């Protein structure tokens, strides 16, 4: 199974509907950014000095935060068994 297939299986088995939707929406948005050559070029040319003021960078950052928040819900809130496994076996 690919990592995406593993994630989707976990979403089907363990996630609340909103969590699954947020994970997949953020992932699809991120892939759309990467597929857009103009946006990729823009990001490749971006420096750390001007990233904070860059609207595309900020959109991608917002998307990454949405993805992280949804993963946190998946692993810690949506499913008690997955939460217990994450606490016991997670690497932090």
Q: What is the pLDDT of residue 91?
A: 73
Residue 13: give the domain boundaries.
Answer: 3-89
Closest-CA residue to 63 (of 29, 34, 16, 89): 29
Q: DSSP letter for 47, please.
A: -
Give tens-digit pLDDT for 6-28: 999 999 999 999 999 999 999 99
The pTM of this model reads 0.86
Number of domains in the chain: 1
Residue 90 pLDDT exceeds 90: no
Question: How many residues are listed for the chain in this entry?
Answer: 92
Q: What angle do CA 34, 37, 40 make, to 5 degrees?
A: 55
């Amino acid at each position: 199974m690919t990592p995406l297939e593993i994630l989707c299986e976990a979403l089907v088995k363990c996630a609340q509907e909103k969590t699954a939707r947020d994970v997949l929406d953020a992932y699809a948005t991120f892939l759309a950014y990467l597929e857009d050559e103009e946006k990729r070029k823009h990001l490749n040319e971006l420096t750390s000095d001007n990233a904070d003021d860059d609207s595309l960078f900020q959109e991608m950052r917002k998307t990454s935060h949405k993805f992280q928040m949804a993963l946190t819900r998946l692993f810690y809130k949506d499913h008690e068994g997955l939460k217990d496994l994450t606490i016991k076996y997670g690497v932090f």
